[in-house]
Structure 1
Amino acid sequence: MTGTPAPESHPGTAARPRTATDDVADAYVRTLADLSPMFATEAGLPGREDALDDHSPEGLAAFTQAARAALTALDSVTPTDEVDRVTQHAMRERLGLEIELAEAGEDLADLNVIASPVQTIREVFDLMPTDSAEAWATIAGRMQAVPGAIEGYVESLRRGASQGRVAAIRQVEACITEADGLAGAEGFWQQLADGARIDGQAPPDGVVAALAQGATAARAGYAALADALRELAPVAPVRDAVGRERYERFSRTFVGAEVDLDETYEWGLAELKSIVAEQQVLAEKISGPGASIEQAMAELDADPTRLLHGTDALQEWMQTTADEAVTALAGTQFDIPDPVRTIECCIAPTESGGIYYTPPSGDFSRPGRMWWAVPSGVTEFATWREKTTVYHEGVPGHHLQVGQTIYRAETLNDWRRMACWVSGHGEGWALYAERLMQDLGFLDDPADAIGMLDGQRLRAARVVIDIGVHLGKPCPPQWGGGTWDAEKAWPFLDANVNMPEGFKRFELNRYLGWPGQAPSYKVGQRLWEQLREETRAREGAEFDLARFHRRALDVGSVGLDTLRMALLD
């Protein structure tokens, strides 16, 4: 492994005086926590733990009004330092886009297979404490709130439909299937209630009864959602593409920068070709001259020394790999605060196949966690594929990025620490971190390196599919010619992603239903790398990579235009 000088101590570790800009930002966070009990749970803020968000049109309008009020308050405040300047730039960009989306009616059509209330209403339960009778009683109360949250959500979807704004039928049908599963007698809610334990023992009888009632209520809520989506299906458009105007808005939302979509599409094709060439070199190192990428991967999958058997072994390997990365990087490549050196690797209670990260609470009483939602029937896991995933979700990826921001309470206001998340910044950093670990020597094994490139190849393919389909770009002749659509996207994705078909089918549905988000990973990585090289060129011999990373991460998760302003202007 290569090394660079140890980072200097954190600048600004002494408490920074509070400013009027901080007051506006923190007041907005308090408003968000009041409007969104789900956000409060994610951030570890107290209050209304047994409630869920109001997803009705009136509830959504309250969020928009809060954003407008915060921007109005910001207009009367003058920045006093660099932190204020970045906060104001970031809030105007983020909240302005939120208002723009609401004015376009996008919040009334929030339905997709991965990040809509269909999923988030359930997912908030993963973050709730389960270590006492009181905690389980709170969970029971929140389950009782599910039907009301669903009712408001359905009202918004119907309002959107009346205005001609409905998700594509592909998303509606997939969410019907998901809602039916959550309404089932053997589904998540019943498992949550039946699995309640405190130090290995069942909670008191009254709590057990409340959990049973809560599970029944939550199941009924999702059954009602499935029925409502069936009613919505006849007016859902068949066409997946959202068109350039809507896509440009979504892209800005997820990247925090305005990118040339046509140039980015062409870059995605070129980047994909470059990654395939890198994989080919590694394939021949693994399996000999002339070996194909597919042949090398098949050989790795058959290697018993690279296989894990069962979720217990997977969880233990994830935890060991994550802990080893923290130990190796702390004090050498990164200045990692003590509370951020703890990450928990968990097997998720669902079976979607997703791998994701949830942040620590503001006081770190709940640690940051990497989750793996293992699909039913999957019992073997190849470490060569997934080492880079641990770096992506853990350190130096999301956990370091998010945890370090949350830790900086003496410098950053609560909005910067806990409420601002930009996919292009966060996911771009996580992909950047994967490549960085290769540069630092952590992926010197050709097997681990080809696994990292397999993930990078998927992300490059996303750029092509997402922009290609939604903007109706010309499809290369080898993939069918004409204009990109879902039918042409499938063989293209299938050829470029070495994963089970179910995962790839889900991925394609995700791109089609969440426009602009999937490319933000690779586009964000590109912008991170450009920013690093611009800084290197500016500083010349004085450039220090560890110092660049610390300065950049200290800004927090902001739009990439804001990050550029913070580091270069």
Structure 2
Amino acid sequence: MTSSQPSVQATGLSGLRAARIRAIARAGAGWSEPPRRGKVCAMADSFLPPSVDTATHAPAATTPRQIADAYLDRMVRQQPVIAARLGVDPGGRRQPDLSPDGFDEEAAIAREALARLAALPEAAFGAKAEASCARLLRERLTARLAVHDAGDHFRSLNNITAPIHGVRGIFLSTPTATDDDWAAQVDRMREVAGAVQGYRATLAEGLRRDLVSGPRQVATVVTQLGAWFEDQDSWYAGFARDCPEALRPGLDAAATRAADSVASFRGWLREVYAPAAAGRPDIAGRELYQRSVRSHTGAEPDLAEATAWAWEEFHRLEGEIRAEADRVEPGATPQEAIAHLEVEGHAVEGVEEVRAWLQGVMDEAVDALDGTHFDIRGPLRRVESRIAPVGTAAAPYYTRPSLDFSRPGRTWLPTLGRERFPTWQLVSTWYHEGVPGHHLQLASWVAAADSLSRYQVALGTVSANVEGWALYAERLMDELGFLADPGRRLGFLDHQMMRTIRVIIDIGMHTGAVIPAHSPFHPGETWTPELASAFFAAHSGVPAKMRESEIIRYLGWPGQAIGYKLGERVWRQGRAAAQAAKLARGETFDLKSWHMRALAQGSFGLDDLADELAAL
């Protein structure tokens, strides 16, 4: 055996696996460098008979749902951030492997699941639940592999989903109730430096391959990481302050090393990566954009049709916004009405006060909607309002409950250094993030895990489905009269306009589209980030800091932002089609019943979602 081939004995493999490795070596298969154990096992596992599950040594999965859940289990072991987010590995003490090898191992797990799905006999897909799960798994993993094989992970640097955020976020998703919980946090903290080093290696490989993120993303992440050190101590040191005294020395030392590793990475971004990114385009280009749209929507929408429809929505909303602005302040323009609401409208003073106020908004929604338009029972009633940690993006967000509901769903408000919070926009936003939006959908999925599969309610999530439901939820609350106050309704309409503008400028910037002749803004010119920002400012009341963060977000997360309105369109069309079908049969359409069936069906891409909703 040459030095470039792995030692079978060193891997600790079983005799069967060792024999497979030797067979590979005799056939002339080699590695350019000795792989880590995970890579050796992955290579050996690909030669195991299909009757053996290589991850658990249990009988192999024989149905699509079993294969999907086996894939989820493999990913939970491979990717601690997923485990933490789902709450399925509370004793886990790891950080993710963000090196090129780590990403390759995730892709290998996906390929294996697809191969096992393809090997199933036709009879395995006979039940509707099995066919639905298989369709989702096949679509999601195919889209995932397209992203991986194009090398997009080598330039994964943006203000929301950059892997560096997951390295910190894992501490916010794991428990700290007991000494054992804190002991696990000490171990996780010790692994931060390795995770950061792996991520740096991936980005460095991207530099070598000329797969480089845009300069705006680099500058933004450098600024975000700087905010982690704005207090007297680092964010990591602040996290350690709540640790029990007996474990505090270990966590303090680990937090110092973690902070040093992040500071070093930030310096590398600024001094090495940023100069390499300078002068490069911030836009994705059509090929990367279409790949990313597929990943976020589970579909391949006609981008020209989507843009034309968004312009129709833009003109419709302009009229509604003008009318609502006049209700806020007679004779006022939309911008004047927004300025009035910012200064004279209802506002909450204080960070803790706004957190409690937002909790009240969600609690009131739960009580009002339960039994009328939804059944909100048991753990679905529990959703927490939180303040986002420093150094995150400007937009509010939601984190789902753990699969056992031991950790509830949570909404998060970035304060951006503010102490005063006008509420004219916040009400519809918390219907979006909380109830009946993200929380009600995603918590309902978790509650349905036994009847679906854990994969369908967790890792198989399609962004446009989820964001589309949340936007549908906002409009539902308007339909039900919860936004009758002129200020709150203007906030709802302004957010609808923002999501509509997203479709226009996200597609426009990344594909180099020309602004149409009917546009009130620079007709005939080609979209650029600068024009997109100016268009956004002219037609939205979003504060300047958030607007700037949004443009950075669209540039660094191409294709995700269009899913809100396109997803909402599918949800509304699906409801209309189901209602029409009921009426055609002479039956009564029960909106609450439709809602509950829709929320219990789990994840689908937009193409499949349209058919599923219409059939309910």
| C-alpha contact (below 8 Å) 1:283/1:450 kept by paired residues | yes
TM-score norm. by structure 2 comes to 0.85
Q: Give 1:151 deviation, angstroms.
A: 0.9
Query: Residue 188 of structure 1 corresponds to which residue in structure 2?
Result: 235
Q: Give 1:47 deviation, angstroms.
A: 5.9
- The letter of the residue matching 1:551 is R
Task: Give the whole-Å Cα distance in 2 for the aligned partners of 1:303 and 1:19.
Answer: 63
Query: Residue 431 of structure 2 corresponds to which residue in structure 1?
Result: 391
Which sits farther off after the overlay, 144-153 or 493-502?
493-502
Task: Give the whole-Å Cα distance in 2 for the aligned partners of 1:568 and 1:261.
Answer: 23
| C-alpha contact (below 8 Å) 1:351/1:375 kept by paired residues | no
Count of residue pairs brought into register by the alignment: 542
Deviations, residues 32-58 of structure 1 (Å, cap 9, x unaligned) = 110011110110112662211101111
1:273–1:145 CA distance, 2 compared to 1 (3 A) = same
1:283 matched to 2:325: yes
Deviations, residues 465-506 of structure 1 (Å, cap 9, x unaligned) = 111110101135754442111121121111122132111111
| Matched ranges for 1:113-192 at <5 A | 113-182=159-228, 186-192=233-239
| C-alpha contact (below 8 Å) 2:478/2:489 kept by paired residues | yes
Task: Give the whole-Å Cα distance in 2 for the aligned partners of 1:357 and 1:303.
Answer: 29
Task: Give the whole-Å Cα distance in 1 for the aligned partners of 2:613 and 2:334.
Answer: 40
Deviations, residues 61-95 of structure 1 (Å, cap 9, x unaligned) = 11111111111111233224211111000000000
1:171–1:162 CA distance, 2 compared to 1 (3 A) = same
Task: Give the whole-Å Cα distance in 1 for the aligned partners of 2:237 and 2:427.
Answer: 34
Task: Give the whole-Å Cα distance in 1 for the aligned partners of 2:614 and 2:125.
Answer: 18
Q: 1:52 aligns with which of 87, 90, 95?
A: 95
Query: Residue 52 of structure 2 corresponds to which residue in structure 1?
Result: none
| C-alpha contact (below 8 Å) 2:159/2:552 kept by paired residues | yes
1:362 matched to 2:400: no
- The letter of the residue matching 2:193 is P
Query: Residue 146 of structure 2 corresponds to which residue in structure 1?
Result: 100
Task: Give the whole-Å Cα distance in 1 for the aligned partners of 2:135 and 2:614.
Answer: 14
Query: Residue 9 of structure 2 corresponds to which residue in structure 1?
Result: none
Deviations, residues 154-207 of structure 1 (Å, cap 9, x unaligned) = 11112222222111111112222223333565332122123x16xxxxx12x31
Deviations, residues 508-542 of structure 1 (Å, cap 9, x unaligned) = 11111110011111111112112222222222253
- The letter of the residue matching 2:217 is Q
Q: Give 1:301 deviation, angstroms.
A: 2.6
User: Which structure would you say has the larger Rg?
Assistant: 2
Q: Give 1:264 deviation, angstroms.
A: 1.1
Task: Give the whole-Å Cα distance in 2 for the aligned partners of 1:314 and 1:39.
Answer: 30
1:84 matched to 2:126: no
| C-alpha contact (below 8 Å) 1:466/1:519 kept by paired residues | yes
Q: 1:36 aligns with which of 79, 85, 96?
A: 79
Deviations, residues 222-276 of structure 1 (Å, cap 9, x unaligned) = 1222133231223325212221121111111111111110121122222122112
1:74 matched to 2:74: no
Task: Give the whole-Å Cα distance in 1 for the aligned partners of 2:207 and 2:78.
Answer: 24
Query: Residue 20 of structure 2 corresponds to which residue in structure 1?
Result: none
Deviations, residues 83-123 of structure 1 (Å, cap 9, x unaligned) = 11110000000001111111111122111111111222112
1:434 matched to 2:480: no
Task: Give the whole-Å Cα distance in 2 for the aligned partners of 1:286 and 1:433.
Answer: 24
Q: Report the 3-state secondary structure (helix = DSSP H, G, I; strand = E; otherwise coil) of the residue aligned with 2:425.
A: helix
1:420 matched to 2:460: yes
| C-alpha contact (below 8 Å) 1:424/1:559 kept by paired residues | yes
Task: Give the whole-Å Cα distance in 1 for the aligned partners of 2:425 and 2:391.
Answer: 19
Task: Give the whole-Å Cα distance in 2 for the aligned partners of 1:40 and 1:457.
Answer: 36
| C-alpha contact (below 8 Å) 1:552/1:563 kept by paired residues | no
Which sits farther off after the overlay, 167-176 or 59-68?
167-176
Query: Residue 570 of structure 2 corresponds to which residue in structure 1?
Result: 527
| Matched ranges for 1:240-279 at <5 A | 240-279=282-321
For structure 1, the residue ranges without an aligned partner over 5 or more in a row are 1-17, 198-202
Higher relative contact order (CA 8 A, sep 6+): 1
Q: Report the 3-state secondary structure (helix = DSSP H, G, I; strand = E; otherwise coil) of the residue aligned with 2:348.
A: strand
1:475 matched to 2:515: yes
Query: Residue 46 of structure 2 corresponds to which residue in structure 1?
Result: none
TM-score norm. by structure 1 comes to 0.91
1:273–1:186 CA distance, 2 compared to 1 (3 A) = farther
| C-alpha contact (below 8 Å) 1:118/1:179 kept by paired residues | no
1:565–1:270 CA distance, 2 compared to 1 (3 A) = closer
| C-alpha contact (below 8 Å) 2:570/2:609 kept by paired residues | no
Task: Give the whole-Å Cα distance in 2 for the aligned partners of 1:308 and 1:349.
Answer: 20
| Matched ranges for 1:333-372 at <5 A | 333-350=373-390, 352=392, 353-372=394-413
- The letter of the residue matching 1:495 is A
